Amino acid sequence: MKIFLDTSDVGVIKHHYQTGLVDGVTTNPTLMMQAGRNPVDVISEISSVFSGRGYHIGSISAEVVADSAEEMVLQAEQYHSIGENITIKVPCTYEGLKACRELSERDIKVNVTLIFSLNQSILAAKAGATYISPFIGRCEDNDIDGIDLISSIKRVFKLNSITTTNILAASIRSIDHVNDSYKAGADIVTLPPKIFEEMYKHVLTDQGLAQFDKDWKELNK
């Protein structure tokens, strides 16, 4: 069971990395460019955050944006040269799957993203993907049961002894999405930082702490 952060904010990543609970990051080049940042520079910074723990180098998904498999592979080579913890994110398209096959044959980790069906996950696994990313929230936006999709993928992978492709639940919008994804068999969930922060909060925990604090003050009067 692993947790990735779905963000390109290096400061936020550094903050949560200190918990020792974050296993990787998924990024979005569009958001980086909108923020006026060069995606290669941002990925390099994120990669260096995870390089500090030695045994826990993490997985940093760097997304390629191109029309052909050849262009995707060229972009992937630039990202991969940053460090061993870089995973190349490609779309589940004809060209994306071609790129996945070529990269995986070079032992480069690939995250096939924008998965919305079982058949897409089968093709991605066959192409050698290290991770496949079913999009739970976007599935629900289109009247597709994203949690059931994860269950179906998990069942088919188990029946066919597919052990090298991890199910990475994405497009997470709530704590329930997190819990239900793990219940359905997801290996990894990638979370917006806000939802990661919500995971360790509970009103009863707050009430308990307030009571402990009150009792401690009474004992030390």
Active-site residue, selected from the candidate residues 2, 89, 214, 217: 89
Long-range contacts of 170-176 (CB under 8 A, 24+ apart): 170/6, 170/26, 170/113, 170/133, 170/134, 170/135, 170/136, 171/135, 171/136, 171/137, 171/138, 171/139, 171/146, 172/6, 172/136, 172/137, 173/136, 173/137, 175/199
Active site residue 89: yes
Alpha carbon distance 145, 204 (integer Å) = 31
Active site residues: 89
